[in-house]
Amino acid sequence: MLNIAELKWLNAPAKSEVRGGDLFVRTDARTDFWRETFYGFRRDSGHFAYQSVDGDFTAEVTIDGRYEALYDQAGLMVRLSETHWVKAGIEYTDGNLCFSVVVTNDTSDWSVLTLPHAGSELRVRLTRHGEAIRVQYFDVANNIWQMARLAYLPPSTSIDVGVMCCSPEREGFEVVFRNLTIGAPISRQLHE
C-alpha cells in the first residue's frame, strides 16, 4: 500500500500536511511547470510529490481544489527530467474548470477540455505502457473512464510518478489529494 507521507518532493511547498492518508497542500507564489511554447519562458517551480517507479504502471488520484485564479491546477504528473514530463488534472482557465494536459518533450504543448458539469473534485488516471502515457479522467455522469490523451515520453527503466499542483498567478491555492494509488498497469485495450 502506498504511504503518501513517504513521497519525495520536488519544490516542496511551505505548507503541506498529511491527514488520514490525504495530502493537503497550499501552493507557494507563482509556481508552474512549463517550457518555451507560446509564452517563451521556462518554469520548473511547481510542487511535485512523487515516488520512482520501474516499468509500466497505473496511477490514480482524486483531486479536490479551491480553484479561484487563472491557471490554478492540480493532478498527476510523470517525470523523466526537467525536459520530459506529463501533467494532467483540473486547471482553472477562462472562468471554467477544465481537464488540462501538458506534454513536454523539450517544449511543452497544452490541451484543454472544458468540464461543463464538473465540481472541484475529479479522479485522474495516468497509465504507462512503454513509451506511451495514457491520460484519463473519470466521467461521473456516464460512469466511465474517459481518455483525453495518448502521449509519448521517451522509454526509460524508471520514472517519477505522483501528484502536482501549481498556481502561476498567485500563492495560496489549496488542494487535497485523496486515494492516491500507483500499481500494475491497466489493460492496453483502448476500446470496449
Q: Which domain, by its residues, includes 150?
A: 4-11+25-183
DSSP E strand stretches across 46-106:
47-54, 57-65, 73-81, 84-93, 96-105
Is residue 159 domain-resident? yes
3 state SS of 23: strand
pLDDT at 1 over 70: no
d(CA 182, CA 9) in angstroms, rounded, equals: 16
Give the lowest-confidence range in 2-6, 19-23, 77-81: 2-6
Q: Which amino acid is at 14?
A: A
| 188: Cα within 13 Å, side-chain hemisphere | 5
Mean pLDDT, rounded, for 56-61: 98
3 state SS of 103: strand
Is residue 191 domain-resident? no
pLDDT at 183 over 70: yes
Is residue 192 domain-resident? no
CB burial readout 13-32, b (16+ within 10 A) else e: beebeeeeeebbbbbbeebb
Is residue 20 domain-resident? no
Number of domain units in the chain: 1
d(CA 71, CA 45) in angstroms, rounded, equals: 14
Is residue 152 domain-resident? yes
Is residue 33 domain-resident? yes
pLDDT at 192 over 90: no
3 state SS of 13: coil
Is residue 36 domain-resident? yes
Whichever domain contains 130, its CATH number is: 2.60.120.200
pLDDT at 87 over 80: yes
Q: Give the model confidence (pLDDT) of 19-56 as tens digits.
A: 999 999 999 999 999 999 988 889 999 999 999 999 99
What dihedral angle (degrees, nearest 10) is formed by the CA atoms of 31, 174, 138, 75?
A: 20
Q: Give the model confidence (pLDDT) of 100-123 as tens digits.
A: 999 999 999 999 999 877 778 999
Is residue 79 domain-resident? yes
What residues have CB less than 8 Å from 182, skipping those under 6 apart? 2, 51, 53, 57, 58, 59, 161, 162
